[in-house]
Amino acid sequence: MSRFFTTITLAFALVSSADAFFRINCANIQRGRIDPLVNPGTLAAHSHSIVGGSNIGVNATFDSLLNSRCTSCEVGTDKSAYWAPTLYYKYPNGSFYEVYHNGAVVYYLGRGPNVNQTVPFPEGFMILSGDKSARSYDNTTYTYGTEQYPGRPVADRISFNCIDDEIVEKQYMHDTSCKNGMRAQVHFQSCWNGRELYKPDNSHVAYQSAIDNGICPPTHPVQIPHIFLEVLYAVADVPDLTDDGLFVFSQGDPTGYGFHADFQNGWDPDVLANATQNCLATDDFGQISNCPILLDSQSSAFGFNCPEQPPQVDEPTRGLIDKLPGCIEITFGPEAASASSMTCPPSVPRPVIRQTVDSVPLPTVRPAVGSTYPTPNQQYLGCFNDSAGTQRTLTAYSTSNYSFMTVAFCQEICNSRGFRLSGVEYAMECYCDSVINPTAISGWRDCNWNCGGTMDLPQQEVCGGYGYINVYNNTDPDDERLVPARAKETVGKFANKGCLTDPNTSGRALLGPAKFDANMTNEMCVGFCQGEGMHFAGIEFGAECYCGDDINEAGGAVIRTCPVQGLMLCAGNQKQLCGGPSLMTLFYSATL
């Protein structure tokens, strides 16, 4: 299998046309001693890292998963849960540290001569693959096989890749000094007996003859999608690594032979049926973009939109902890770990399982292009591309605020600054302008990140995507905030006479009384000069007011039309202009 996952390019080169699959990226949804397959309703024996539907918990069922508010996997219609043991590093002083990983990658593979007979997982279907007590390689237990399709050691369902300059794959944790992470991998059974949805000994399912390929045994004739799960552990990022430390999985396994993973179906049945039929047997190279039914609900924002949930089991599993959760003893094998080394005696106090209320799916508002949202004067113009490498779609102003960002929050930011156009991007960013950059193109479907500020609301709205922006236009002709700043036409008896140059070579353009005020406005300066008994009032550089009865023409001052650009906002009124550098906004009245 390693051939797929070294790089995408390599996968493209090596995958044959029979090797169809799709790949779903998932972020963590919860961690802790939860395993509704093996220990429904109660504490699991060891700690798991779980990805998928947000309703995962000790009582999770097909219905509760399907009802999850969201999934931490990129396909929104897959609310299944997938989990694997948590990996720890044991320091020489006995403390444990949880090894960082950011979720899992789940592959759905279509393999073997009967791939076109693959049926979707039934509702309520569950599988566990692997054996938590294994501590050595079992070379005697084989999958079903025939001469044409030989069997293979079942132990090959587990493998580890050390991602370094060279990638080496073996069936155990053979190397933990991997610069770019250690990847643990599990193949699931893809043959079903057609009867039970789950049996505690997993005898309702069997492996294909070659595990990731081949035929199903006659006892388990129904071919189901083949799940292959990968978790990439950042083994090199553990602080204070020493030669005397030990990487150990949560079931007390320092070998890796006991790695395992669970799947609890939470797929929208129609979607899984469609994807099984159309995307597993054809030549699609793992791209969700080639599978229309999955693309419909695909979001690159799965981690943002569906963040990790608080742990239901009230005990520490993250960071630095003083023992493995659940009385787990470390056992090195080669004999299988005993049940007692992985179980708490009844005398040990049990952590509380927090009562949680199953969530329900949240609607996401997606206004149609041309419609208004959320108020009747805000017209949605569409999803535009907005790559950081090119000029942005809206360039005049931008800000970022994850916890508060909503469409309306950004509209207010932009409109209050005088910009008609507002754009939300990347869940948290807001861009403003009066015009759209002509290179930007609308009509994209990649605006699918929920706004950070709607995280806790009963309804979600969309705030762009990674490199994509939702643009809104405030079309209200009467919105005062959008009227560009300008000088007043009249202030009382005083009329605006345009601009007066103030070359400042031989005295000011107006030689009477003057004042500076941090709250300067047109009205303030006119009022001041009128009070001083002067006929001219001139405002310069935003906050300086000059008065006079004559213009200092000898000093080079002349009246001219005001320039379109270069005038300054009044220090005391952002909607008024108050001259500029060496230039006055001029008011005059013949009578006082």
Ligand X SMILES: *[C@@H]1O[C@H](CO)[C@@H](O)[C@H](O)[C@H]1NC(C)=O
- Binding residue (CB under 6 A) for ligand X from 158, 184, 272, 293: 293
Q: How far is the CB of 46 from ligand X (least distance, A)?
A: 18
Question: Is residue 298 part of the contact set for ligand X (CB under 6 A)?
Answer: no
- Choosing from 62, 83, 91, 192, the residue that interacts with ligand X (CB under 6 A) is 91
Question: Six-digit token pair at 369?
Answer: 């292009």
In the shown chain, the binding pattern of residues 58 to 87 toward ligand X, with x for contact by CB under 6 A and - for none, equals xx----------------------------
Over the window 321 to 360, marking each residue x when it contacts ligand X by CB under 6 A and - when it does not, the resulting string is --------------------------------x-xx----
Helix (H) or strand (E) holding 305, with range, is: helix 302-305
> Cα separations (Å) of 489 from 190, 502, 532, 585, 588?
80, 21, 21, 11, 11
Shortest distance, position 420 Cβ to ligand X, whole Å: 5
Return the number of the residue (204 or 420) whose C-beta is nearest ligand X: 420
In the region spanning residues 108 to 137, those forming contacts with ligand X, defined by CB under 6 A, are 113, 115-116
* Interface residue with ligand X, options 9, 16, 93, 561 (CB under 6 A): 93
Name which of 311, 289, 310, 290 is nearest 300 in CA terms.
289
The site string for ligand X over 554-573 (x = CB under 6 A, - otherwise) reads: --------------------
Q: Which of residues 181-200 bind ligand X (CB under 6 A)?
A: none
The SS3 of residue 276 is: helix
DSSP classification of residue 75:
B
- Cβ(331)–Cβ(321) below 8 Å: no
Contact flag: residue 584 with ligand X (CB under 6 A): no
Minimum CB distance to ligand X, residue 283 (Å)? 7
**Shorter beta-carbon distance to ligand X: residue 41 or 200:** 41
The three-state secondary structure class of 591 is coil
Q: Using DSSP, state whether 97 is helix, strand or coil.
A: strand
Closest by Cα among 506, 504, 526 to 578: 526
**Residue number, 23 or 420, with CB nearest to ligand X:** 420
Alpha carbons 131 and 136: distance in angstroms, whole number: 11
Amino acid (one-letter) located at 19: D
Q: In the range 138-157, which residues lie near ligand X by CB under 6 A?
A: 139
Query: For the chain, how are helix, strand and coil distributed in percent, rounded to 5?
Result: 15, 30, 55
Instruction: Report the nearest approach of ligand X to the CB of residue 550 (Å).
Output: 17
* CA gyration radius, the chain: 34
Spell out where 111-180 has E strands.
126-130, 158-163, 167-170
Any contact of residue 475 with ligand X (CB under 6 A)? yes
* 483: contact with ligand X by CB under 6 A: no
Q: What mask, x for binding ligand X by CB under 6 A, covers residues 4 to 43? A: --------------x----------------------x--
Q: Which of 372, 373, 389, 370 is nearest to 381 (CA)?
A: 370
Question: What does the binding site for ligand X look like in residue numbers (CB under 6 A)?
Answer: 18, 41, 57-59, 91, 93, 95, 113, 115-116, 139, 240, 274, 277-278, 281-282, 292-293, 296, 320, 353, 355-356, 381, 385-387, 390-393, 401, 404, 420, 436-437, 439-441, 473, 475, 504-507, 518-519
